[in-house]
A and B are shown apart, each in its own frame.
Chain A
Amino acid sequence: MSLTWLDWLLMLVYFASVLGVGVALKKRTTTSAAFFQAGRAIPAWVCGLAFISANLGAQEIIGMAASGAKYGISTSHFYWIGAIPAMVFLGVFMMPFYYGSRARSVPEYLRLRFDEKTRGFNAISFALMTLFSSGISMYAMAKLLQILHIFDAPFAALGLGPQYIFHVCVVSSAIIVLVYVLLGGLSSAIYNEVLQFFLIVAGFLPLVYLGLRDAGGWPGIVATVPTSLTHAWRGFGSAATSPMGVDGLGMAMGLGFVLSFGYWCTDFLVVQRAMAADSMTAARRTPLIAAFPKMLFPFLVILPGLIAMSVHGGVIPVKLHEGTNAMVLDALGRPQLDYDMAIPTLLLRYFPTGMLGLGLTALLASFMSGMAGNVTAFNTVWTYDIYQAYLRPKASDAHYLWIGRMATVFGIAASVLTAYVAAQFNNIMDVLQLVFAFVNAPLLATFLLGMFWKRATGHGAFTGLVAGTAAAALHHGLTLPAGAIAGVKGGWIAAVSAYPSEMAQNFWTAIDAFTVCLLVTAAVSLVTKPRPDGELAGLVYSLTERPRDAGLVWYKRPAVLGVIVLAATAMLNLVFF
């Protein structure tokens, strides 16, 4: 299978479109508020689609399909348990504080609510994390496009070996994202995320259709793959029988509460999209609007993994050692499958020229939306929460705008570097979960106490965060998933106890960090001086006027939307029980 002029042309149309959006927005991007906050003038539905699209990076599409092939439909827990409830909570309960406090970023909310050191801690760890994710995303894309061998011929024609595919992919995607973010800032990233969202759906929907048709529909899949792969909750009674090595409780607490609320409710990458909305109700509706497509995404990204396991006895290639091309074997000596290849394999299998171009473009679009999401979150936090806060507090707006653009260049350069460092990991999703566990899991406790307990103090929050992050590191250092070697997978202090899977270890690390942060924050808060109530209006639940939704049409009320989303998600869980 090779690419034709038509496939290249389709990719070109996409590149022209995203760059065109940047150019069209350039004139409007003259202040730092326009660059970093999109002028807080974006309609709710646009923010909503950008909200999920920014999260829909490489790790999402490739990782979810990989997980779908490995763990089956249980992977949808990452959506139905691990995203929807948290998104509803963000929209209904937390958005009023983020949007209403007029904070420009999540770390800035922490400064308003707590103090400078809490913000600094969060800003710096968050900035590092975005660079890390963005680099991983870039690495995944470039690696994938290289293994596909689809670009081998055109590169050979230019006299370049296949290793150049990796370099060209990294550099060219970095440059395109760089240009459109430089030109239009957050608005440009958000508008392009909407465009990328539609393109991803347009590229993968026909793939799922063809794959399902070939597999004989859902009944065909059920008949060919192990039963555990087609039931979302089977075996979750205990960790030993569950496909992910996690029991129902670990799942509900670890993924459903700590990890998912920690990510969706406090990660500035997604929250920034909602904060760009044009009004308070629009900001609150953003995650709720996003929840509807999110709920259905398992059919688009997880189903391909199952299809790849089902058709023609399974079409996922065996994983090969880099360089030697020897088969990678698991602990029992069986060849390991390269699950990350599930979607690309299907693309090459079912799509003729034309559709293949569209599918590859959709893949590229997902990589770029993830990268741009990270970069816009990074440049905002860097400029407002690190540069303006600590390095040059009283500069002109034009200066901060310039710094933001420089931060964009630096952020992308650092991501490229990370991409080259990130070469040694197997399942991208597990690694990301680990990072989120260290940084984000304690953070949730800080926000919950900050927003809903007026007694929580800055000293408490800071000590709690440090203790929580340390607890996560300690827990990770003392435990090891079954079959893994001590090191990056855990057990680097001493492997005191073992978990049945990496995922189980990640979930319990997160639960641990959250609990420690919650207890330490509460304890330290009680012995330190609280801030007077007057200073906390608009920042804490009990001291803030409830947003009035009574005047809105029912389908615009956040609470109503939230109930509908949750009910529909519960239905989906029952259908695939």
Chain B
Amino acid sequence: MGLDVRLPVGLMFTIMGALLLAYGVFGDHAIYARSLDINVNVIWGSVLLVTGVIFLVLTARGRSAGEARRG
């Protein structure tokens, strides 16, 4: 059984999503003039965070399913 690729993808998206979301909430809001007054950091950060967490959940489920099969 090789490395489950969903693990690094999940980790990367979770961290990136959390960073963007936090900056979008707490950072300066004037910077969103360029993005047509949409707080893209909050919106896209949340999307990435949720995607990342889903990937991590899938990794964990894949791992326990693999153990169940073996054991």
Query: Which residues in A have some Cβ–Cβ distance to B below 8 Å?
Result: 6, 9-10, 13-14, 17, 20-21, 24-25, 28, 39, 41-42, 46, 187, 191, 194-195, 198-199, 202, 206, 210, 213-214, 349-355, 358
A13 to B27 CA separation, bound complex (whole angstroms): 20
Contacts of B1-51 to chain A: CB distance below 8 A:
2-3, 5, 8-9, 11-13, 15-16, 19-20, 23-24, 27, 31-32, 34-36, 38, 40-41, 44-45, 48, 51
Q: For the A-B complex with A187-B2, A352-B35 known, give 11 more contacts whose Cβ atoms are closer than 8 Å.
A: A6-B23, A13-B15, A13-B16, A17-B12, A21-B3, A25-B3, A46-B5, A195-B5, A349-B34, A352-B31, A355-B40
A351 and B40 in contact, given A13-B19, A21-B8, A202-B48 (Cβ under 8 angstroms) = yes
Query: Can you list 10 A-B contacts with CB-CB less than 8 angstroms, sorted by A residue number?
Result: A6-B27, A14-B16, A20-B8, A24-B8, A202-B51, A210-B38, A213-B36, A350-B35, A355-B35, A355-B41
Contact yes or no, A214 B12, CB < 8 A = no
Which of A24, A191, A355 makes the CB contact (< 8 A) with B20? A355
Q: Distance (Å) between the CB of A237 and the closest chain B CB?
A: 40
Which of B8, B11, B16 makes the CB contact (< 8 A) with A10? B16
Which residues from B are CB-within-8-Å of A25? 2-3
Q: Distance (Å) between the CB of A21 and the closest chain B CB?
A: 5
Contact yes or no, B41 A195, CB < 8 A = no
Which residues from A are CB-within-8-Å of B8? 17, 20-21, 24, 191, 195
Which residues from B are CB-within-8-Å of A46? 5
Most buried by B among A9, A194, A213, A358: A358
Q: Distance (Å) between the CB of B58 and the closest chain A CB?
A: 12
Most buried by B among A13, A14, A28, A352: A352
Name the residue on B nearest A187 (C-beta).
B2
Which residues from B are CB-within-8-Å of A214? 36
Interface string of B44-71 (1 = CB under 8 A from A): 1100100100000000000000000000
Query: Which residues in B have some Cβ–Cβ distance to A below 8 Å?
Result: 2-3, 5, 8-9, 11-13, 15-16, 19-20, 23-24, 27, 31-32, 34-36, 38, 40-41, 44-45, 48, 51
A136 to B31 CA separation, bound complex (whole angstroms): 35
Q: Distance (Å) between the CB of B20 and the closest chain A CB?
A: 5
Name the residue on B nearest A39 (C-beta).
B2
Name the residue on B nearest A191 (C-beta).
B5
Contact yes or no, B9 A194, CB < 8 A = yes
Contact yes or no, B44 A191, CB < 8 A = no
Contact yes or no, A198 B9, CB < 8 A = yes
A206 to B12 CA separation, bound complex (whole angstroms): 18
Instruction: Determine chain A's interface SS by DSSP, over half rule.
Output: helix
Name the residue on B nearest A21 (C-beta).
B8
Contact yes or no, B34 A354, CB < 8 A = no
Contact yes or no, A9 B19, CB < 8 A = yes
A353 and B31 in contact, given A187-B2, A358-B20 (Cβ under 8 angstroms) = yes
A213 to B34 CA separation, bound complex (whole angstroms): 12
Q: Distance (Å) between the CB of A165 and the closest chain B CB?
A: 23
Q: Distance (Å) between the CB of B8 and the closest chain A CB?
A: 5
Q: Distance (Å) between the CB of B46 and the closest chain A CB?
A: 12
A349 to B33 CA separation, bound complex (whole angstroms): 10
Which of B12, B27, B40 makes the CB contact (< 8 A) with A195? B12
A42 to B2 CA separation, bound complex (whole angstroms): 8
Which residues from B are CB-within-8-Å of A352? 31-32, 34-35, 40-41
Q: Distance (Å) between the CB of B16 and the closest chain A CB?
A: 6
Contact yes or no, B44 A358, CB < 8 A = yes
A46 to B3 CA separation, bound complex (whole angstroms): 11
Contact yes or no, B9 A358, CB < 8 A = no
A210 and B9 in contact, given A9-B19, A21-B3, A350-B35 (Cβ under 8 angstroms) = no
Which residues from A are CB-within-8-Å of B45? 354
Which of A10, A28, A191, A194 makes the CB contact (< 8 A) with B19? A10
A210 to B38 CA separation, bound complex (whole angstroms): 9
Which residues from B are CB-within-8-Å of A195? 5, 8-9, 12
Contact yes or no, B12 A13, CB < 8 A = yes
Name the residue on B nearest A9 (C-beta).
B19
Closest 10 CB pairs of A and B: A352-B31, A354-B41, A17-B12, A191-B5, A355-B40, A354-B23, A194-B5, A354-B20, A206-B44, A21-B8
A191 to B41 CA separation, bound complex (whole angstroms): 27
Most buried by A among B3, B5, B13: B5
Q: Distance (Å) between the CB of A156 and the closest chain B CB?
A: 23
Which residues from A are CB-within-8-Å of B44? 202, 206, 355, 358
A137 to B13 CA separation, bound complex (whole angstroms): 26
A333 to B15 CA separation, bound complex (whole angstroms): 51
Contact yes or no, A41 B40, CB < 8 A = no
Which residues from B are CB-within-8-Å of A191? 3, 5, 8
Name the residue on A nearest B30 (C-beta).
A352
A349 to B32 CA separation, bound complex (whole angstroms): 11
Which residues from B are CB-within-8-Å of A351? 34-35, 40
Q: Distance (Å) between the CB of B56 and the closest chain A CB?
A: 13
Q: Distance (Å) between the CB of B60 and the closest chain A CB?
A: 16
A195 to B6 CA separation, bound complex (whole angstroms): 9
A6 to B41 CA separation, bound complex (whole angstroms): 11
Which residues from A are CB-within-8-Å of B20? 6, 10, 354-355, 358
A198 to B54 CA separation, bound complex (whole angstroms): 14
A354 to B25 CA separation, bound complex (whole angstroms): 12
Contact yes or no, A350 B48, CB < 8 A = no
Name the residue on A nearest B29 (C-beta).
A352
